[in-house]
Amino acid sequence: MSTTDFTRQTHHEFLTASSQALVDANLQLSLANVGDTLAKRNREAWETFPQSAPLRELARQIKDATLADLAGHLETLEASVRERGGEVHYAGDGDDACRIVTDILRSRGAKRVVKSKSMTTEEIHLNDALEAAGIEPIETDLGEYIVQLSKQRPSHLVAPALHLRMPEIHQLLSTDAGETLPNTPEDLCAYARTRLRDAFATADAGITGANFAVAETGTIVLISNEGNARLTVTMPKLHIAILGIEKVIPKLADLPIFLKVLARAATGQKLSIYTTLANGPRKPDELEGPDEFHVVLLDNGRTRILEGPLRESLFCIRCGACLNVCPIYRNIGGHAYGGTYSGPIGAVLTPLYDGLTNNRHLPHASSLCGACQAACPVKIAIPEMLIQLRDQLHKEPGEMHWAEAQAYGLWARSMRSPRLYRFLTWLATRTVGRVLPSGWLKKLPGPLHGWTKNRDFPAPARERFRDWWSREGME
C-alpha cells in the first residue's frame, strides 16, 4: 500500500494527515453532528446550571492547590491505599509502567485481561506491551472494543469510535462474531454484551485508568455510562489502575465538585450513569471484588510540564468538551493530531509529551477563537498556551525559514518606525493593490507560497486608510 493510513500511525505529519481527513467522506459525515449534539449539550449545561460558574472556578483552584504540593498528596494517597490493603507502584515513564503491569500479571500467571476505557493506557501503548508478553487485552467499553477490532486508535477522549460509521462497525462486529449480525445498533450492542460478558467471566485481571484518585481515602474513581468499568473492578480477582500523577485530588469532599462539572461538560448529563469509587480490595467477608488492588502512578513527562509555564495543562480532566466545540477538530477529527490526545488540549499536550519540533504544526492547528476555554470545566487557558508554544517553537534553532524570518523581521521593524510603516503601506497600495482587482492573492512568490497553499492572502487595498481619511476631511 502506498498511501499511509493516518488512523493507525503513531506519529505523522500533521499537514498530510489533516488534508487526508478533510477529504475522507465517512469521517466528514461522522464529524458533522458533533457540533449539533455534544457541543450543544455542553453549552446548554453551562447555561442551565448557574452553579457551574463557581463550581468550575473551585475545581480549578483545587487542581492548582493540589499541584502546588503534589508529592505530599501522592504520599497521602499511597498511605491510604496501603492501609486498605492495596499496593502502589511508581512508573517514571510508559515503558516502566508497562513493565510493572506485565510483571504483576505474569507472576500471577494471568493470560487474559479486561480493560475499561483509559486514555493513559493508550498513552503508554499498554496493549502492545501486554500482547508482546503473551497476555490478551480485551477492551470492554463498546467504542473501545470496536476501535480495538479495527486496529485503530481512539479518535475522541470520550467517544473513541466517533469516526466510524454504521456499515464499518457492522462489518467489524460481524467479522468478530463469525456471522453476519443483524444491522441495528441495538443488535450490535446485544452481541457485544454477550461477547464481553464471557470476557469478564474468564478474565484473570481488570485494568482501568482513573478519572480521579482521592488521596484521603485511597480511592480510584471510575466514571462510565455503560457499566463496563464496574464489571472490570467487580468480576476479576485482580485490579490494576494506571493513572497520571495529576489525577490525584486531596479530599473526599473535593470529589462532588468535580463530579458536578465533569459529566455536564462531557455529555450534558448531570452525572454519568455509573460513578464508581473503588476503595481497595474486597473485605474478607465479601462475595465480589478483587483480592488484589494495585495502583500504578505514572510520570511520563508530567513533572516536566509541572515545573514549567504550561503547568495549567495538568488541570485537564479529559472530558472532551474542547474537542466538541473546536472548529479545527470538527473538520479533521482526532486521528489527524497524531497523538494520544487530540483537539485543542491535544495540541497542547502532544508537543509537551512528545516534543515540540516533532509536532510543530499542532500549536498552529487552532484558530484561537477561545471556544475551548469557554467550554472547559476547569477553565484551562488553552489559547494562551497555544500562543506560548508557538513562541517557544520559533525560538527553536532551525525552526524558522529564512524567508519567514525576513518577513516577520521587516514587519516588526516597520511597526516600530512610523516613517517606514507609511512608506511600506504606500508602496504596497501603489503596486500590488493597484494591479490586483480581486483583493486576494492566490499565490505568494518563492518560499512564501506555503502561506497560500491552502488559503488566500488578503491583497493590499487600492488606497491606504490614512489617505482615505484625509481625503474625506475627517480630523
Which residues in 227-246 contact other proteins (CB under 8 A)?
227-228, 230-231, 233-235, 245
Q: Which stretch binds other proteins (CB under 8 A): 59-67, 101-109, 341-349, 464-472?
A: 59-67
Torsion 375-376-378-381 (CA) sign: negative
Q: State the minimum distance, in angstroms, from the CB of residue 395 to other proteins.
A: 18
Q: Is position 211 an interface residue for other proteins (rule: CB under 8 A)?
A: no
Angle of the 382-395 helix axis to the 343-354 helix axis, nearest 10? 40
- 182/447 with CB nearer other proteins: 182
Q: Is position 313 an interface residue for other proteins (rule: CB under 8 A)?
A: no
Q: Is position 292 an interface residue for other proteins (rule: CB under 8 A)?
A: no
- 169/345 with CB nearer other proteins: 169
**Spatial separation of the C-alpha atoms in residues 337 and 305, rounded to whole Å:** 20
**Spatial separation of the C-alpha atoms in residues 235 and 148, rounded to whole Å:** 22
Q: Kindly provide the residue ranges of all beta strands, DSSP E only, lying in 165-209, ordered along the sequence.
A: 205-208
Residues 351/389, Cβ–Cβ less than 8 Å: yes
Q: Is position 264 an interface residue for other proteins (rule: CB under 8 A)?
A: no
Q: Is position 19 an interface residue for other proteins (rule: CB under 8 A)?
A: no
Residue selected from 17, 18, 21, 160 as contacting other proteins according to rule CB under 8 A: 160
Residue selected from 39, 101, 265, 297 as contacting other proteins according to rule CB under 8 A: 297
The residue whose grid cell reads 475627517 is 474
Q: Is position 152 an interface residue for other proteins (rule: CB under 8 A)?
A: no
- The 10 Å Cβ neighbour count of residue 407 is 15
Q: Is position 82 an interface residue for other proteins (rule: CB under 8 A)?
A: no
Residue selected from 47, 179, 307, 475 as contacting other proteins according to rule CB under 8 A: 307
Retrieve residue 447's grid coordinates: 518560499
Q: Is position 281 an interface residue for other proteins (rule: CB under 8 A)?
A: yes
Q: Is position 71 an interface residue for other proteins (rule: CB under 8 A)?
A: yes
Q: Is position 312 an interface residue for other proteins (rule: CB under 8 A)?
A: yes
Residues 92/120, Cβ–Cβ less than 8 Å: no
Q: Is position 119 an interface residue for other proteins (rule: CB under 8 A)?
A: no
Q: Which stretch binds other proteins (CB under 8 A): 180-188, 337-345, 409-417, 420-428?
A: 180-188
Q: Which stretch binds other proteins (CB under 8 A): 62-70, 392-400, 420-428, 443-451?
A: 62-70
Residues 333/155, Cβ–Cβ less than 8 Å: yes
Dihedral (C-alpha) 44, 33, 154, 138: value to the nearest 10 degrees? 90
- Picking from 167, 163, 160, the residue whose alpha carbon sits closest to that of residue 226 is 160
Q: Which stretch binds other proteins (CB under 8 A): 222-230, 318-326, 330-338, 426-434?
A: 222-230
- 177/277 with CB nearer other proteins: 277
x/- letters, 95..114, toward other proteins (CB under 8 A): -x------------------
Residues 129/123, Cβ–Cβ less than 8 Å: no
Residues 63/258, Cβ–Cβ less than 8 Å: no
Q: State the minimum distance, in angstroms, from the CB of residue 274 to other proteins.
A: 6
Residue selected from 182, 308, 327, 450 as contacting other proteins according to rule CB under 8 A: 308
Q: How many amino acids of this chain bind other proteins (CB under 8 A)?
A: 97
Residue selected from 206, 244, 289, 377 as contacting other proteins according to rule CB under 8 A: 289
β-partners of residue 35 are: none
Going from the C-alpha of 319 to that of each of 158, 232, 246, 314, 438, the distances in angstroms are: 7, 21, 15, 13, 44
Going from the C-alpha of 458 to that of each of 15, 316, 444, 461, the distances in angstroms are: 22, 37, 11, 9
DSSP element (H, E) containing 214: strand 212-214
The set of long-range contacts for 51-56, using a CB threshold of 8 Å and a minimum separation of 24, is 51/260, 52/260, 52/261, 52/264, 55/257, 55/260, 55/261, 56/261, 56/376, 56/377, 56/378, 56/379
Q: State the minimum distance, in angstroms, from the CB of residue 400 to other proteins.
A: 26
H helices present in 288-401, as ranges: 302-306, 321-325, 329-332, 343-354, 371-375, 382-395
The residues in 182-201 that bind other proteins, with binding defined as CB under 8 A, are: 185-186, 188-189, 192-193, 196-197, 201
Q: Which stretch binds other proteins (CB under 8 A): 33-41, 316-324, 347-355, 426-434?
A: 33-41
The residues in 123-142 that bind other proteins, with binding defined as CB under 8 A, are: 140-142
Q: Which stretch binds other proteins (CB under 8 A): 272-280, 321-329, 359-367, 368-376?
A: 272-280
Residue selected from 304, 394, 442, 466 as contacting other proteins according to rule CB under 8 A: 304
Q: Is position 464 an interface residue for other proteins (rule: CB under 8 A)?
A: no
